[in-house]
Structure 1
Amino acid sequence: MKKFFSSILVAGLLLSVGVNSTFAAGGASGPKTYNSVGKIGAVIMNPYGIAPLTAIITTGGYHLENVSVLVKGKGEKGIDIKYNVSNSKILQHGGIPIFGLYPDYINKIEVIYTKFMPGNQKSEKVNETYSIYAPPITTYGSGTSQKTFLPKAEVIIPASDKVKNNLYLMNHLSSILPNAGQVVWNHPVGGALEWDYESYVWMIDTNGDIRWQLDVSKLRDPYDIRKKGNLMGFDQTKDGNLLWGQGQTYKKYDLMGRKIFDRMLPRSYIDFSHHTEETVKDTYLLRVANSDMKRKDGKNVRTVRDVIIELDKEGNVIDEWKLSDILDPYRDNNILAMDQGAVCLNIDASKAGQTVSKEDLEDNSMPFGDVAGVGPGRNWAHVNSVNYDPYDDSIIISSRHQSAVIKITRDKKIKWILGSPEGWSEEFQKYLLKPIDKDGKEIICEANGSKCPGYLNDKGGFDYSWTQHTAYVIPEKSNGHIRRVSTFDNGDSRGMEQPALVSMKYSRAVEYEIDEKNMTVKQVWEFGKERGLQWYSPITSVTEYQPKTDTMMVYSATAGMGDLVAFRKRKAELTPYLHEFAYGTTTPELEIKMVDGNIIGYRALVVDYKLAFE
């Protein structure tokens, strides 16, 4: 009996030793957590896997309140990033979110907080500084045409106090990688599935320093239809998060990289690109295309960049604007005048300066798909932005291939067309805005209405926008039926022609005043013509009013591409320009030149990072 009890005792002791040994070897930790480097918890780098310049300082089990973060600027002139963190964000992330780290650098972060021991009213106010190293930037590149991992930002005109603390999300793309554009749609044909490039998304401060990056490799897979496509159309929503689309999906993530949703497009639609937007009604506008449309000739096709949809927060379709039923998909004047070497991101130096013929457009053998052509199933509209106007519950679209900014009502009626009158059939004539000068006198544009004084006069003046991008209403500067609208006038097909010399091309940032009752348009601001070919962006780019700073942000995103032949032969490099202007002026509050990247700029977006945390 003694021997039996002794055996049990020995076994118990051995089991006890075994359990303790397991703890020591890295098993269950017991009442312990990771070692802290400060007065609360551990530091977790890149907590959600796609934003490597972020971190979380965990709570360590304490309750935290009154939290503020200061990521100190690099060197004497570095830009501080400072924000408060709400209690709900502390609970969401399990700690203090750290945003805005410099890559390949030991960052100094000052955090201030009040900590409570759970169940104990006693608190301690803490002010401590962390040293956190963030890794270098890594991107997927061509290996042959790039000089750096991302374009370098050279500050030409330092930021004024008005815009000094701005942060800019940069969205670029590369079309020359061998894993791009390998798949097309079938059953039926058409669409733009092959529009699938490597994307580059990062943020810079006004010193040009990188402060955030999105690891696109975690989102794009060229061998998976669901994960193909360009990351485009970034919009910061009212809650501070980022909304964008990618091919067959649209997504919402926070600035820490946490996924809020990643959804497939509704099944009636395909090929998101260019633009997403959250409206004041808490709905989403997306520019998409039809997945299966019956043409009048009985053919079924997938359409190209000619449908707008509105979704609720749960992803349900509220409304659609099928533009081939609203506009004239066979108006070809502007398409005939466009430089076929640069059709949005489809760059072909062998066609630089060439136009397409009317016979080509009308040829029955012309393919369906992502080709500049007429009729549903081809790229006749190329809508690159859609903007909600709450004044009358309508949308404003930018149609590149019609060189027209168009307002369309909720009941799918055209309200006005801002563009050359040339080529619009009789039923659309009543919607065309009449240009007037500052005194209200009518402006006469020559050659069927396409050659306006601003085109013919070296000093500028009124002109329509040509192959434009980003047509946005400015509610803060509008008053009832008098609406202010900004756009980036790229300038291809200006005057409904190609100039005699490449050097004659130019782009503009423009603001118009539209009187919707009297159907007139007045040009009230422009910048860019004086910069000439150097500043010319044949494709992409953005002009957008910033209410927080009362400035106009402009990104000439493909400056340097004006001479396409030289660009493709690597004798010219992309040098996009980022500007901020005090409203109504043409003297920059900031000018940054992007160099050495040689990837195609798409847009820039001012990001208010405080919205994401406070």
Structure 2
Amino acid sequence: MRTLIVWGVRWLLLVFFAVQLVACGGGGASQGEKSDIRVAGSSAGVTPFISFLQLQGVSVDQLASIRFEISPKPGSISKPVNVNYPLIELVRRGYRASADSLVVPVFGLYAGYENQVSLTLSFNDHSTQALSASLVTADYTDTAGNHDHPVIRKKRMATDGALGFDYFFIRSGTTTPVIIDTDGEIRWIGVGSTNSLSSTFSGNAFIVGDPASTKLTRFELDGTVATTSIASATGTAFHHNIDPGKQGLLVTLDGVIDGVKAIESSITEITPEGVVIKEWDLAELMARHMRNHGDDPSAFVRPGVDWFHINAATYDPRDDSIIASSRENFVIKFDYASGDVIWILGDTTKYWYSFPSLRAKALQLESGGLAPIGQHAVSITSDGLLLLFNNGFKSNNQPAGAPSGQDLAYSAVSAYMITPATMSAREVWRFDYDQTIYSKICSSAYEAPGKTFLVDYAVADNMTKSRLVGLDSSRKVVFDFEYLAFPCSNWNAAPIALDRLSY
């Protein structure tokens, strides 16, 4: 009797597990194995770097996501473009044409080349299907004669130090932003803009401000474009950077305040959709500080004149503050909520240092350190340092007879440790390329993963050339690309993770 009971229990357990396996798909082929999805065709995008693949099959309804990867050219060191779309994202963007068809935007293609694209289709049961396609693209010619034929001064080699990025984008004075890989190949460009100096990459799209208005344009990587405008009470046009803020993006706008032109002396935080979050009038902020500490601000704060020249800003979450770059004067940190000045770091031979209220907020730079001079592109590194491109160019708009500060013969990248408790600063490291390049205006330096860096000497060689340089974690040169420079046409550049992009 006991034997019969044991065998009965075993039989029931076998039936139970068999039912579970069938319910989970274990009793038959997976969705990926049964899939009838195929590549039915392709079409070209608005530039040769963008195409669209048409997928067909009733199994489309069982998809969870699609990943595409573009095979690198032979000899390439850059990692392949790799992008993942959840199905819901493709549906949201209108690429689900019917129940059994789906369009997949593919971007980051080589121009004038037969691109090999692999697709990984992931299904709801976690199974996958592999597809492939060959996309032949048209040639691309840069009408400005710039980005399509760089001079490779130093090619990236497999034996070089590792880089934390394989792609970067240039904020261009002649086109939309341009994505270039670390082999020097253009991998993306859009249409619809002839100036992207004020731009950033946010939410997997480029956000570009108009230099002639408050129009804000969103350039998706599939080539689609959407435009809105900022509802600023005082702003009239974008200039310089768009940088990361506390809740949104920090933009710099020219404007009119109390009937007087506010030239490059304000910061506005906006959402990526253009909604204003907060505004700082730097003329009012500086004047208030100077008056409260016994100075007459009228000799320093001069509305209607380019007295401040804000060119970059970044949010510091460690103390809820804004760090702003005044090309004419210094780097300044002020409280996000109140606007109270926290510290100032700059060349103490300049005019600003003659005012006691400003001098009282000056950080003491340790001996041997290079002070920020005409700097651009302030940011905070992964280890908490203040990073900037140190142009080395003196002030250009001080009152007649006022000291304009030092004027160097080279430019550098400087990283500082700031100690607010002692009001001191130390230049922790500096990269100056053996003092061989001078880029007096524009330019940038930004960190990538692995403490590697991208440097843009925007106006080298007497403002005729741009140099885009990649540095490994030891700050050794991994690549060095030279482009033509129509003043600030390659204004600023930053790494972009096109090898691991997810929607």
Identify the TM-score tier after normalising by the shorter chain: 0.7 to 0.9
For the 8 Å contact 1:240–1:609, the answer to whether it is kept is: no
Pairing 1:305–2:285 present? no
Q: 1:270 to 1:604 in 2, by over 3 A?
A: same
Matches within 5 A, 1:105-144: 105-113=113-121, 126-141=129-144
**Cα distance, 1:529 vs structure 2:** 6.0
Inter-partner Cα distance in structure 1 for 2:499 and 2:156: 23
Q: 1:514 to 1:556 in 2, by over 3 A?
A: same
Q: CA offsets, 1:67-100, max 9 Å, x none? A: 2212111224364223333223332344222121
For the 8 Å contact 2:231–2:276, the answer to whether it is kept is: no
Give the alignment's Cα RMSD to 1 decimal.
3.1
Amino acid at match of 1:523: E
> 2:196 maps to what in 1?
231
Q: CA offsets, 1:114-146, max 9 Å, x none? A: 579xxxx9x9954332221222224443xxxx5
**Cα distance, 1:610 vs structure 2:** 5.3
> 2:204 maps to what in 1?
240
**Cα distance, 1:591 vs structure 2:** 2.1
Matches within 5 A, 1:16-165: 39-46=38-45, 49=46, 51-60=47-56, 62=58, 63=60, 64-77=63-76, 79=78, 80-91=80-91, 92=93, 93-94=95-96, 95-113=103-121, 126-141=129-144, 146=145, 150-154=148-152, 156-158=154-156, 160=160, 162-163=162-163
For the 8 Å contact 2:231–2:275, the answer to whether it is kept is: no
Inter-partner Cα distance in structure 2 for 1:140 and 1:317: 36
Inter-partner Cα distance in structure 1 for 2:451 and 2:164: 13
Inter-partner Cα distance in structure 2 for 1:431 and 1:574: 38
Inter-partner Cα distance in structure 2 for 1:99 and 1:161: 28
Matches within 5 A, 1:376-391: 376-391=303-318
Paired residue secondary structure (1:412): coil
> 2:220 maps to what in 1?
254
Amino acid at match of 2:120: I
Amino acid at match of 2:81: I
Amino acid at match of 1:545: E
> 1:409 maps to what in 2?
335
Amino acid at match of 1:324: A
Matches within 5 A, 1:311-350: 311-312=270-271, 314-327=273-286
Q: Equivalent of 2:249, from 279, 284, 290?
A: 284
Q: 1:165 to 1:43 in 2, by over 3 A?
A: farther
Q: 1:78 to 1:517 in 2, by over 3 A?
A: closer
Aligned-residue sequence identity (percent) comes to 20
**Structure 2 gaps, min length 5:** 1-36, 97-102, 291-298, 396-402
Pairing 1:202–2:178 present? yes
> 2:416 maps to what in 1?
512
Paired residue secondary structure (1:428): helix
Q: Equivalent of 1:473, from 380, 384, 400?
A: 380
Matches within 5 A, 1:439-450: 443=367
Amino acid at match of 2:392: G
Inter-partner Cα distance in structure 1 for 2:110 and 2:273: 36
> 1:431 maps to what in 2?
361
**Cα distance, 1:267 vs structure 2:** 4.3
Amino acid at match of 1:558: V
Inter-partner Cα distance in structure 1 for 2:222 and 2:363: 45
For the 8 Å contact 1:137–1:149, the answer to whether it is kept is: no
Inter-partner Cα distance in structure 2 for 1:511 and 1:561: 25
**Cα distance, 1:399 vs structure 2:** 0.7
Q: 1:99 to 1:78 in 2, by over 3 A?
A: farther
**Cα distance, 1:608 vs structure 2:** 1.4
For the 8 Å contact 1:240–1:610, the answer to whether it is kept is: no
Given the two structures, how large is their TM-score scaled by the length of structure 1? 0.64
Amino acid at match of 2:490: G
For the 8 Å contact 2:177–2:206, the answer to whether it is kept is: no
Q: 1:161 to 1:98 in 2, by over 3 A?
A: farther
**Cα distance, 1:513 vs structure 2:** 0.6
Amino acid at match of 2:379: Y
For the 8 Å contact 2:244–2:314, the answer to whether it is kept is: no
Amino acid at match of 1:406: I
**Cα distance, 1:199 vs structure 2:** 3.5
Inter-partner Cα distance in structure 2 for 1:278 and 1:260: 21
Inter-partner Cα distance in structure 2 for 1:156 and 1:602: 21
**Cα distance, 1:607 vs structure 2:** 0.8
Q: 1:125 to 1:418 in 2, by over 3 A?
A: closer
Q: 1:493 to 1:207 in 2, by over 3 A?
A: same
For the 8 Å contact 1:155–1:593, the answer to whether it is kept is: yes
For the 8 Å contact 1:275–1:287, the answer to whether it is kept is: yes
**Cα distance, 1:515 vs structure 2:** 0.4
Inter-partner Cα distance in structure 2 for 1:85 and 1:324: 46
Amino acid at match of 2:333: K
